[in-house]
Amino acid sequence: MTSDEIRGKFLSFFENRGHKILPGSSLVPEDPSLLLTTAGMVQFKPIFEGKVKPKHPRVATAQRCVRTTDIERVGKTARHLTFFEMLGNFSFGDYYKQKIIPWAWEFLTEDLQMDPEKLWITVYKDDEEAFDIWKKDAGVPEEKIFRLGGADNFWAAGPTGSCGPCTELIYDFGVERDCGRTTCGVNCDCDRYLEVWNLVFMQYDRDENGKLHPLSKKGVDTGLGLERAAAILQNALTTFETDLLKPLVKKTEELSGAKYGKNLKKDVSLKIVADHARAVTFLINDGVLPSNEGRGYVLRRLLRRAVRHGKLLSIRETFLSELADTVIDIMKNTYPDVFKNQDFIKRIIENEEGRFSETLKTGLSILNDVIEQVKTTKGDKIGGEAIFRLYDTYGFPPELTREIAEESGIPVDLNSFDQHMEAHRTKARASWKEEAAVSEEIYAEVFDYAGKTDFVGYSERESEATIKAIIQGKVAVSEAKSDEEIEIVLNKTPFYAEMGGQIGDTGIITTDTGKMEVLETKAPLPEMYVHRGKIVEGVLKSEQEAIAKIDEARREEIAKNHTATHLLHWALRKVLGSHVRQGGSLVAPDRLRFDFTHFQALSPEEIEKIERLVNEKIAQNYPVRTYQTSLDFAKESGALAFFGEKYGDVVRILEIGDFSKELCGGTHVGRTSEINMVKIISEASIGANLRRIEAISSVRAWDYFNREDRALKGAASILGVKKDEVVKGASNLLSSLKEKEKQIENLQLVLRKEKVREILASARQINNVRVVMEEVGAQNMEYLRALVDSLKEKLGRGIIILAATSKGKALLVAAVTPNLIRDGFNAEKILDSIAPVIGGGGGGRADLAQAGGKKPEKLPQAFEKALSYIEDSLTGIKNN
């Protein structure tokens, strides 16, 4: 029975029993407390917690999952995987044990036709109800039902919350797969007994004291491993020999030349590559990109681990993208989006694999040296400093270092690594931590008595308010005077506080006795707005009535740029793909900055297309509206939000026309035409798979075009061409300049040859040594060195000292022919003797040295000293 048939039979079985078949969720869960989707129940967690009412009382899904808790066991056992599919059925207060237990037995033994004799059952030790249902309703013999403790048969999502007993269906592969231990049984972790299906009964709510309270509505959450069921029904020894994974193992065999089943170590690597290729493909498909934190780090770790095992199999070239093709070919009928995103998935893999392959060789070399050093010194482990250096410098995940080291029988000190990581982070935080702590303390103190600030700035630009607190120097004061810098907390404000990338408002706060210029607005605590600025008139007092008025013109420019970021986000996703997600932003009155996930630089054509799409939407004058709603409605309505972020129960949605819908708390224009236009100024990388666009809008965009136009007109005027011919004119001018440069070089060569003849004619003869010593007209050291090179070719046996004056400084170059170096002459020593005369110094080699000085008028004296040095040296040679 193929895996597609198993999956189809499962969903049909439960659909025929009143279940709504729902699509599996993304591997990126909406719950911000979870890193990845690890089970079918993840998307239903709010329902089991009682936070959301179910639309359907009973549902069933096929859910793709990623778990790395057992990553070290992948490839070493018959069943452990990082990526797998979990078939699940769920009851939200509808049916319970009485129905699901007989159904589970019926499905496995009748629909899938598993041998009942090979199936065993485990139940929670105190769950008499489940035991009786298995025995009486399902007809399982009592001797095949085992009672186990909480470690095996009691499920909980965490220390508190929904939990309950569970029952498991175990398949017995037979005594020939027995581990041989006397304790081997249905709860043994060997390859004989395979847990196929886990039925969890959501029966209790556990409070903070650990006490269990019965739920008013009990639920069912089950998980049937598709790969495990396939292994049983396809008579496969392991999940890697099923139709889901065997083609990947075979593809890896083709790429590496290794043969499965011939070598235990190579088998492990073949399995790891096959498994990780699936996980990598589906993580990228669901929008995860490689990074050094969170789920991006999980992806990077899996990908790099697969690359390393590929190298162990002697695969020399990049290969993972070819395996992704095989993954997609296997899964495209069930998950058509992986086929749709095939090119994107492969590009991400190729980029990351290529980047890591460049450093893998160096990192492995260093790690091998560390391992050898530990062996040589008879050390007991690799320390945290070495692990941190490999991670920080070469991107080696510490888990990969541990795996490689332990293959050589050497443990690693990951605790020490964690200490080095924390020390690194502590150092980075040190500069701001103390001040932040002091600030937070005063704000918390003020918030206790001032209360929350009512923000009215979405609809009002000016409002009456009461000064609830004045903060000066991190201390609350009762009043402040002219020229003093302070922070004010109001009970109500139209000032938008900096958040979500949007810069805070500025403006004026006035009372009967004074005026303050607000220079920035911050929200140090939720619902607390702090206005920072300077008193420009009189005195301000706590509990005074005030008028708070924002700078409206500035707010309008900010609103234009903020709405523009949403248009830009929409256009980026449309042009580049749905993997694009916001990574940060800055919305200011004079510019906008938008950071986004993408794997390569944008081409000029892509930037132009994005810019055109944005400006088309601006010109089409779409309405822009905002409204508040529940987070659940926002999700259901398709609002774009990155639910790994934390949102409250009530969220604010921004809609632009019918094409853009996102969660956003910022201020915006009423219609897109108010933005006028957007111009992208730059696009660049700011990190691995993270890029940044900077842009301007409205009047500043017009000013930009006018400046560019003036510059273009100026260039056209200088070149004597029309504006649209500037590039051609500049190209022609450049070609002409290059030709002229060649002519100049040829002329300089002729002149240099003539100068060489002239200098050689004036050379002195001292004891069979020709000495050239002359000041020449040269603007730089390069020309002097070129002359020296030409002179050495003609000189035979000799010494050269050339000098020049350039920009008020003296330049000196000395050279000695090879035959004189053997006699003890050294160009560097000659210059050392004369450089002080010109007030400078230099250096070089025995054959060539150069020096500079600030006294060019002393060059004649330098020559005299050089001549004396040479004559004395030659006399010494003659006497010897």
CA pair distance 451, 440, nearest whole angstrom:
15
Q: CB under 8 Å to 11, separation ≥6 — which residues?
A: 21, 60, 62, 87
CA pair distance 453, 531, nearest whole angstrom:
11
Is it the case that residue 402 has pLDDT exceeding 80?
yes
For residues 803 and 863, the answer to whether their CB atoms sit within 8 Å is yes
Instruction: Tally Cβ neighbours within 10 Å of residue 677.
Output: 21
Q: Which CATH code of 1.10.3720.10, 3.40.50.10470, 3.10.310.40, 3.90.1150.10 fits the domain covering 762-879?
A: 3.10.310.40
pLDDT of residue 287: 85
Domain ranges of the chain: 3-242, 245-358, 451-550, 555-706, 721-756, 762-879
pLDDT tens digits along 596-651: 989 889 999 999 999 999 999 999 999 999 999 887 788 777 787 654 455 667 88
pLDDT tens digits along 670-717: 999 999 999 999 999 988 788 999 999 999 999 999 999 999 999 999
* Cα of 543 vs its chain's centroid, Å: 48
SS3 of residue 31 by DSSP: coil
For residues 537 and 515, the answer to whether their CB atoms sit within 8 Å is yes
Q: Is 849 left (phi over 0), alpha (psi -120 to 50) or beta?
A: beta
Residue 276: which of 323, 231, 318 has the closest Cα? 323
pLDDT tens digits along 219-228: 999 999 999 9
The tokens of 217 are what?
């509505």
pLDDT of residue 671: 97
134 CB-side CA count, 13 A: 25
CA pair distance 378, 346, nearest whole angstrom:
44
SS3 of residue 796 by DSSP: coil
pLDDT tens digits along 455-511: 999 999 999 999 999 999 889 999 999 999 999 999 999 999 999 899 999 999 999
Instruction: Tally Cβ neighbours within 10 Å of residue 815.
Output: 27
pLDDT of residue 793: 83
In 3-state terms the chain splits into helix, strand, coil percentages (rounded to 5) of 45, 25, 30
pLDDT tens digits along 326-370: 999 999 999 999 999 998 899 899 988 988 877 777 777 788 888
pLDDT tens digits along 199-241: 999 988 888 888 998 888 899 999 999 999 999 999 999 999 9
Residue 664 corresponds to which amino acid? C
Query: For the CA atoms of the chain, what is the radius of gyration?
Result: 38
Instruction: Tally Cβ neighbours within 10 Å of residue 706.
Output: 10
| Residues forming a β-bridge with 771 | 764, 799
Tell me which architecture the domain covering 3-242 has in CATH. 2-Layer Sandwich (3.30)
CA pair distance 204, 161, nearest whole angstrom:
8
Residue 286 corresponds to which amino acid? D
CA pair distance 301, 323, nearest whole angstrom:
17
pLDDT tens digits along 818-841: 888 888 889 898 888 889 999 988
Instruction: Report the share of the chain in percent with pLDDT over 70.
Output: 97
Q: Which CATH code of 3.20.20.70, 3.40.50.11780, 3.40.630.30, 3.30.980.10 fits the domain covering 555-706?
A: 3.30.980.10
Q: CB under 8 Å to 259, separation ≥6 — which residues?
A: 253, 266
DSSP 334-403: T-HHHHHTHHHHHHHHHHHHHHHHHHHHHHHHHHHHHHHHHHHTT-SSB-HHHHHHHHHHH---HHHHHH
Q: Residue 880: which pLDDT band, with cuts at 50, 70 and 90?
A: very low
pLDDT of residue 648: 67
DSSP 453: -
Order the strands of the 848-853 sheet from edge to edge.
764-766, 769-775, 798-806, 809-816, 848-853, 840-844
| Residues forming a β-bridge with 147 | 123
CA distances from 347 to 59, 146, 315, 599, 821 (A): 36, 50, 19, 8, 58
Q: With the CA atoms of 610, 613, 614 and 617 taken in that order, what torsion angle do they form, in degrees rounded to the nearest 10?
A: -170
SS3 of residue 797 by DSSP: coil
SS3 of residue 273 by DSSP: helix
For residues 820 and 829, the answer to whether their CB atoms sit within 8 Å is no
Order the strands of the 624-630 sheet from edge to edge.
624-630, 650-656, 660-663
pLDDT of residue 431: 46
- State the residue for tokens 């050089």: 866
716 CB-side CA count, 13 A: 12
For residues 201 and 101, the answer to whether their CB atoms sit within 8 Å is no
Q: Residue 374: which pLDDT band, with cuts at 50, 70 and 90?
A: confident
Q: Tell me, yes or no, if the two domains 555-706 and 762-879 fold the same way.
A: no
Q: CB under 8 Å to 510, separation ≥6 — which residues?
A: 516, 546, 547, 549
Which helix H or strand E contains 229, and what residues bound it? helix 226-233
- State the residue for tokens 């020229």: 483
For residues 533 and 518, the answer to whether their CB atoms sit within 8 Å is yes
User: If you average pLDDT over every residue of the chain, what do you get?
Assistant: 90
pLDDT tens digits along 849-869: 999 999 989 999 999 998 888
Q: Residue 439: which pLDDT band, with cuts at 50, 70 and 90?
A: low
Residue 813: which of 839, 836, 834, 837 has the closest Cα? 834
Buried b (16+ CB within 10 A) or exposed e, 229-258: bbbbbbebebbbbbbbbbbbbebbbebbeb
Where is pLDDT greater, at 425 or 164? 164
pLDDT of residue 840: 87
DSSP 529: E
SS3 of residue 849 by DSSP: strand
For residues 166 and 130, the answer to whether their CB atoms sit within 8 Å is no
For residues 577 and 602, the answer to whether their CB atoms sit within 8 Å is no
CA pair distance 301, 283, nearest whole angstrom:
12
Q: CB under 8 Å to 653, separation ≥6 — which residues?
A: 626, 627, 628, 629, 634, 637, 639, 661, 662, 663, 664
- State the residue for tokens 């407390």: 33
CA pair distance 354, 346, nearest whole angstrom:
12
pLDDT of residue 438: 47
CA pair distance 452, 497, nearest whole angstrom:
13
Tell me which architecture the domain covering 451-550 has in CATH. Beta Barrel (2.40)
Where is pLDDT greater, at 763 or 588? 588
Region 521-542: what's the mean pLDDT?
A: 95
pLDDT of residue 437: 47
The tokens of 542 are what?
């706590």
CA pair distance 64, 75, nearest whole angstrom:
19
pLDDT of residue 434: 45
CA pair distance 543, 73, nearest whole angstrom:
66
DSSP 623-686: BEEEEEEEHHHHHHTT-B--TTS---SEEEEEEETTTEEEE--S---SBGGGG--EEEEEEEEE
Is it the case that residue 425 has pLDDT exceeding 60?
yes
* Cα of 373 vs its chain's centroid, Å: 34
DSSP 424-443: HHHHHHHHHHHHHHHHHHHH
| Residues forming a β-bridge with 465 | 546
